[in-house]
Amino acid sequence: MRFNNKIVLVTGASRGIGRAIARQFAGAGARVAVHYHQNETAAYETQSMLPGGPHPIFQADVRDAAAVRQLVQDVVAQMGRLDILINNAGVFTHHPLAQVDYETWQAVWQDTLATNLVSAANLCYCAGRVMIEQGNGRIVNVSSRGAFRGEPQAPAYGASKAGMNAMGQSLAQYLAPYNIFVGTVAPGFVETDMANEHLDGPGGDAIRQQSPLGRVARPEEVAHAVLFLASEGAEFSTGTIIDVNGASYLRS
């Protein structure tokens, strides 16, 4: 897969899956807009790993609708256009119903939905309008296995990712006549900073044994699926949700 001179905005690109996605796009010839929220140092570390370029860095709190609009405008102004949007930024917060107070419950739901779902919707809107004017584009959303199997300790996360799946399929139908194609990747556990507290804890071996491969995904494996959905030739896969969970959860 080649993406020569394609302009790709990757949200949450400072680490983990986002960094792996940015690296694979850059390695395939794309120019990457490296987005981060708080960790500027990590964003520059990502940038230093990317071949080709230039690959500028953009800061934005994607929970802020005005900041999302400005982010997309800044990418287009600095890089000339926007060919591919990768909605990767997200949060995962434990909030088991019997163990948190009502105020915490509300706060986690509000922050999780704002970060994982509403921000992605706003980015799809702003980037989608740019892509409609251009006459083409690709959007790939990074969802989760939890959208299908449930997240009993983090229900807001599971709900946000289920919403992302539905949003992506709705937009795939709406945007196809505009030559804009939308796909979703749904990983299980991945070797990232976000998952390390679980993978390095007493339950880590049990998590790895959920897959017949006896391990969790590497970020690069998730990135590979993202690049496929964003590639030329994958147009008829629009609306698809690709599971990247090592057969740890199979859905019909």
Q: For the segment 125-163, what is each residue's pLDDT rounded down to a tens digit?
A: 999 999 999 999 999 999 999 999 999 999 999 999 999
Rg (CA), the chain: 17
Any domain includes 2 = no
Any domain includes 50 = yes
* Residue indicated by tokens 């926007």: 82
Q: pLDDT of 48-93, one tens digit each?
A: 999 999 999 999 999 999 999 999 999 999 999 999 999 999 999 9
Q: How many structural domains compose the chain?
A: 1
CATH number of the domain bearing residue 102: 3.40.50.720
Any domain includes 251 = no
Residue 203: pLDDT band by 50, 70, 90 thresholds? confident
Query: What type of residue is 46?
Result: T
Any domain includes 63 = yes
Percent helix, strand, coil in the chain (nearest 5)? Answer: 50, 15, 35
Residue count of the chain: 252
What's the pLDDT score for residue 85?
99
Our measurement of the distance from residue 137's CA atom to the centroid of its chain's CA atoms, rounded to an integer in Å, reads: 16
What would the two tokens of residue 76 be?
A: 């287009």
Any domain includes 252 = no
Start-to-end CA distance of the chain, whole Å, equals 29
Give CA–CA dist 8/20, Å, rounded: 13
Any domain includes 168 = yes
180-187 and 7-10 beta bridge pairing:
unpaired
- The dihedral of CA 101, 107, 113, 115: what is its sign? negative
151 Cβ contact partners less than 8 Å away, ≥ 6 residues apart:
157, 158
Tell me the CA distances in angstroms from 114 to 10, 51, 121, 123, one per residue in order.
Answer: 18, 33, 10, 12
Any domain includes 46 = yes
What would the two tokens of residue 67 be?
A: 């900041």
Q: Which candidate, 45, 28, 35, places its Cα nearest to that of 13?
A: 35
100 or 202, greater pLDDT:
100
Q: Rounded mean pLDDT of 219-243?
A: 98
Identify the helix (H) or strand (E) that includes residue 8. Answer: strand 7-10
What's the pLDDT score for residue 202?
86
Range of the domain at 82: 7-244
Any domain includes 224 = yes
Task: Kindly tell me if the per-residue pLDDT of 193 is higher than 90.
Answer: no
- The catalytic residues are 157
86 Cβ contact partners less than 8 Å away, ≥ 6 residues apart:
8, 9, 10, 11, 18, 21, 139, 140, 142, 226, 230
Inter-helix orientation angle 119-134/155-175, to 10°? 20
